[in-house]
Amino acid sequence: MSALTASWSKSRTTQRRIRDLLAYLLLAVGLVWFIFPLVWVILSSLKTFQDFNQIPARLLPSELYLGNYPRAWNSVPFGIFFLNTTIIVALCVVGELVSASLVGFGFSRLRFWGRNFLFMILLSTMMLPFWVTIIPRFLLYKEIGWTGTWLPLIVPSYFANPVYVFLMRQFFMTLPSELDDAAKIDGCNELGIFWRILLPLTKPALATIAIFAFINVWTDFVKQVIYLSQESKYTVAIGLAFLRWQIAQGDPVPGLLMAATVFTSLPMIAVFFIGQKYMVRGIALTGRTGT
């Protein structure tokens, strides 16, 4: 009997090791699949113009040519574009955090008539495609004189994105209601409960929203190119398209565009790796049910 048990345990161990090996192989294939475009862009930014003309195309540069980076930076006023984008992103992230946390708190902790119905209506707005509202929004902003400014890019962030509200509501619901009761006994009102008790506990969800908002605004090309018309107010996303247009007018230098893509992507990569731990935790906890 003991020999049979030992054989069965050994078989289970072997099967588990095989499953783990297959899982690691799949993860390795997925890593190569997703990281290869980034590696290719970085290597291409270090190539000379002659490397791009070789047939067949080569992955590694013949020499590490760093001249593409200063040339790309100086071809377009990226310094101004980075400053503009940083200001817009900072204001948008603050707006998303404030609005999503307040609305999520209201839907999760406050008791009022029609709460669930209003929350369903809020979530249903996510099914409305952006392209359906782009023309009415533009006409509205043009009517009130906001076109050509940063206001159409910043102000909507203070009116609660439904996705971020959902994340905050679900996270607030994971917190026990006893925290609210204890705070009320100590004389704390609803705003005090939100600011002093619950909000400090939602750092993972806030970090998740901040990362998503940062990436969405930093890479948002469509809205920025629609509402901005002056070069002094352009952003990084428009700067990349501007650089591509300038290259198309003269001698094509693919390495310049690759170099610009690398240094404009560095802030997003840095923010993601810094907040990755909080983002994973925030997304994981929003799937739990609370009181």
Residue 51 lies inside a defined structural domain of this protein: no
pLDDT at 256 over 60: yes
Co-location of 6 and 123 in the same domain? no
Q: What percent of the chain has pLDDT over 90?
A: 37
Q: Are residues 157 and 281 in the same domain?
A: yes
Give a yes or no: residue 220 inside a domain.
yes
Residues 97 and 222 in one domain: yes
Residues 269 and 151 in one domain: yes
Residues 40 and 106 both lie in one domain:
no
Whether the CB-CB separation of 215 and 276 falls below 8 Å is answered with no
Global confidence as pTM: 0.85
Evaluate whether residue 61 is within a structural domain. Answer: no
For residues 185 and 121, state if they share a domain.
yes
| Residue 121 sits in the same domain as residue 32 | no
Q: Quick one: 236 and 108 in the same domain?
A: yes
| 57 inside domain | no
Q: What is the pLDDT of residue 183?
A: 86
pLDDT given for residue 88 in this prediction? 96
Question: Within a domain: residue 290?
Answer: no
Residues 193 and 180 sit within 8 Å (Cβ to Cβ): yes
What is the model's pLDDT at position 290?
45
Regarding whether 180 and 76 lie in a shared domain, the answer is yes
Same domain, 205 and 252: yes
Average pLDDT of span 244-255: 70
The answer on pLDDT for 210 being more than 60 is yes
Residue 201 inside a domain? The answer is yes
CATH number at residue 171: 1.10.3720.10
pLDDT tens digits for range 18-45: 888 888 899 888 888 888 888 888 888 8
Write out the residue range of the structural domain in which residue 35 sits: 2-45
Report the mean per-residue pLDDT for the chain: 85
pLDDT score at 282: 59
Angle between helix 254-285 and 162-173 (nearest 10): 30
Same domain, 26 and 146: no
Q: How many domains does the chain have?
A: 2
Check if the beta carbon of residue 157 is closer than 8 Å to that of residue 91.
yes
Asked whether residue 8 falls in the same domain as residue 81, the answer is no
Q: Is residue 242 part of a domain?
A: yes
Q: 124 in a domain, yes or no?
A: yes
